[in-house]
Amino acid sequence: MDTLTEIGVGGIFAVLLIKQVFDFLLHWKGSKNTDGDNLDTDSKKIDKILSMTREMYSMHIVKDGDGAPIWYYKKSLEVVIKELSDRIGTLGSLLDKQLNRFDNLDEKIKSIHENIEELKKS
């Protein structure tokens, strides 16, 4: 029993370290194929990456009528820009109407002012 207590912390650490090493080796050996390498798994991963890259390429080469890549634009953005453009046009026509009313008011005020001046003279 004295030998067991003399092992101490260093011995316990060594046993735990050896256990971890064996667990790692068993896991590593179990993850390999029967021929001893992961070529089949790596090949599948590479094929998947290649497939995804080709799919992204096919999406990114599509262009609109102006030659700009379509993937840069969202349809919702196009709708919002169209609505904004329509509202700016409406605002412009309302400002034109308001300007015409101000011009009419200006003419009426000048006419009233002239009438007042004529009444003062007479």
Domain spans, the chain: 1-31
Alpha-carbon distances, residue 42 vs 4, 38, 60, 106, 113 (angstroms): 47, 6, 27, 83, 93
* CA 51/CA 46 separation, integer angstroms: 9
pLDDT, residue 29, reads 65
* Exposure string over 87-110, b if 16+ CB within 10 A, otherwise e: eeeeeeeeeeeeeeeeeeeeeeee
Tokens, residue 57: 């390429």
Per residue in 96-106, pLDDT (tens digit) is 999 999 999 99
User: What averages of pLDDT result for each successive group of 10 residues across the chain (122 residues)?
Assistant: 61 82 76 55 84 88 80 77 93 94 94 91 80
Alpha-carbon torsion angle 85, 91, 96, 100, nearest 10: 170
**3-class SS at 34?**
coil
Q: Is 8 exposed, middle or buried (0-12, 13-18, 19+ CB in 10 A)?
A: exposed
